[in-house]
Amino acid sequence: MSSKTESSVVIRTATPEDSSICGQICYDAFSTINTVHGFPCDFPGPEASTGLLSMMFTTPGFYSVVAESDGRIVGSNVLAEQAVIQGVGPITIDPTAQNIGVGRKLMQAVMDRANQNGAAGVRLVQAAFHNRSLSLYTSLGFDIREPLSCLQGRTLERSIPGCTVRPAKPTDEGACNALSHRVHGFDRGAELAHAIQQGTAQIVERGGRVTGYTTHLGFFGHSTAETNVDMQALIASADSFVGSGILVPSRNNVLLRWCLANGLRVVQPMTLMSTGLYNDPAGAWLPSVMF
Ligand SMILES: CC(C)(COP(=O)(O)OP(=O)(O)OC[C@H]1O[C@@H](n2cnc3c(N)ncnc32)[C@H](O)[C@@H]1OP(=O)(O)O)[C@@H](O)C(=O)NCCC(=O)NCCS
């Protein structure tokens, strides 16, 4: 494969049967690049990446594609298309087929799809140490928007005075989506509804109002709050963060300092990138690993 060029590569829609080979490639790609740079893999094993891709390849709201060379799958990519802003990832290429243009083709496929969808913008989160992904996304038109710190651990403070955290209910959706509109200019209602159904969503109340929510605290969840205090209450309520950790915007110095003072540890630096519409959020927020 390494002697071939991208011209022999075909992009097609992913099927459920592709998830185990794509899950293995996803694990191999992340563990290889992360190990070279001294970082832990984003997945504990190939079962975890296969489980994630299997869910994405079969759930409405995700557009999934694979790249094939001579009938062999060499990579995959996913577009989360539930909101007006759409998110990319995970994109992974077989380590024996990297740097010959497969990633560019898989990125173009999901960007074309986002265009057809009429998405206002497309976003992704990139491992800050990875020269190749940074170069690829930048040359495709993505701008760097926010440095992120992936944090893991359990906060020393277990609650914040004046804030109550409880599981979110379907009746909270309106308040959470309105909050998201105030902070980000759009809502992620489909993700929130799914998280409420799964039992992972939490809200924070202060002064008798909803002042923040999380779909879940971890790599694949996002959180939005009016203020850092509300976000601290959400973070303090979790016994652990799912996956590699939570993604804290590093320029939110007050929140990052509070996390560090509370014993959380930095796992790796990451970068939020976007193309199309972007506005600086007007509140406290933690992106998911998609956006
Ligand atoms: C990141 C990844 C998806 C990219 O896919 P790929 O097929 O290897 O990349 P491509 O060959 O399509 O494109 C890489 C581009 O970066 C350029 N590039 C690579 N290293 C570079 C560097 N150090 N400086 C500048 N440009 C660089 C290449 O020249 C190429 O540009 P071109 O298309 O203009 O020629 C793939 O390498 C991968 O799976 N990596 C491990 C997992 C990962 O990090 N996934 C991304 C998560 S955000």
Asked whether the predicted pLDDT for residue 177 surpasses 80, the reply is yes
- In a 13 Å sphere around the CA of 73, the CA atoms on its Cβ side amount to 20
In whole angstroms, what is the distance from residue 164 CA to residue 210 CA? 10
Task: Report pLDDT for 67.
Answer: 98
Asked whether the predicted pLDDT for residue 3 surpasses 60, the reply is no
Task: Report pLDDT for 2.
Answer: 47
- Is there a contact between 113 and 81 (Cβ–Cβ < 8 Å)? yes
pLDDT tens digits for range 19-51: 999 999 999 999 999 999 999 999 999 999 999
What distance in angstroms lies between residue 79's CA and the mean position of ligand 1's atoms? 18
221 Cβ contact partners less than 8 Å away, ≥ 6 residues apart: 195, 200, 214, 215, 242, 288
Q: What percent of the chain has pLDDT above 70?
A: 98
Structure tokens at 109: 């496929």
User: Is the CB of residue 29 below 6 angstroms from any atom belonging to ligand 1?
Assistant: yes
State the chain's mean pLDDT as an integer: 96
Q: Which residue's CA is minimally distant from atom 26 of ligand 1? A: 135
Instruction: Return the best residue to mutate from 26, 132, 133, 150 for the ligand 1 pocket (most ligand atoms within 8 A of CB).
Output: 132
- Is there a contact between 20 and 66 (Cβ–Cβ < 8 Å)? no
User: Is the CB of residue 130 below 6 angstroms from any atom belonging to ligand 1?
Assistant: yes
**Residue carrying the six token digits 């959380």:** 264
In whole angstroms, what is the distance from residue 244 CA to residue 260 CA? 16
What distance in angstroms lies between residue 106's CA and the mean position of ligand 1's atoms? 11
User: Is the CB of residue 91 below 6 angstroms from any atom belonging to ligand 1?
Assistant: yes
In whole angstroms, what is the distance from residue 108 CA to residue 218 CA? 28
Structure tokens at 217: 């605290």
What distance in angstroms lies between residue 191's CA and the mean position of ligand 1's atoms? 29
User: Is the CB of residue 179 below 6 angstroms from any atom belonging to ligand 1?
Assistant: no
pTM of the model: 0.96
What distance in angstroms lies between residue 138's CA and the mean position of ligand 1's atoms? 11
pLDDT tens digits for range 125-154: 999 999 999 999 999 999 999 999 999 999
What distance in angstroms lies between residue 206's CA and the mean position of ligand 1's atoms? 45
What distance in angstroms lies between residue 241's CA and the mean position of ligand 1's atoms? 29
**pLDDT band with cut points at 50, 70 and 90 for residue 5:** low
- Is there a contact between 155 and 179 (Cβ–Cβ < 8 Å)? no
pLDDT tens digits for range 239-275: 999 999 999 999 999 999 999 999 999 999 999 999 9
Which atom of ligand 1 has the smallest separation from the CA of 98? 8
Mean pLDDT (whole number) for 215-239: 97
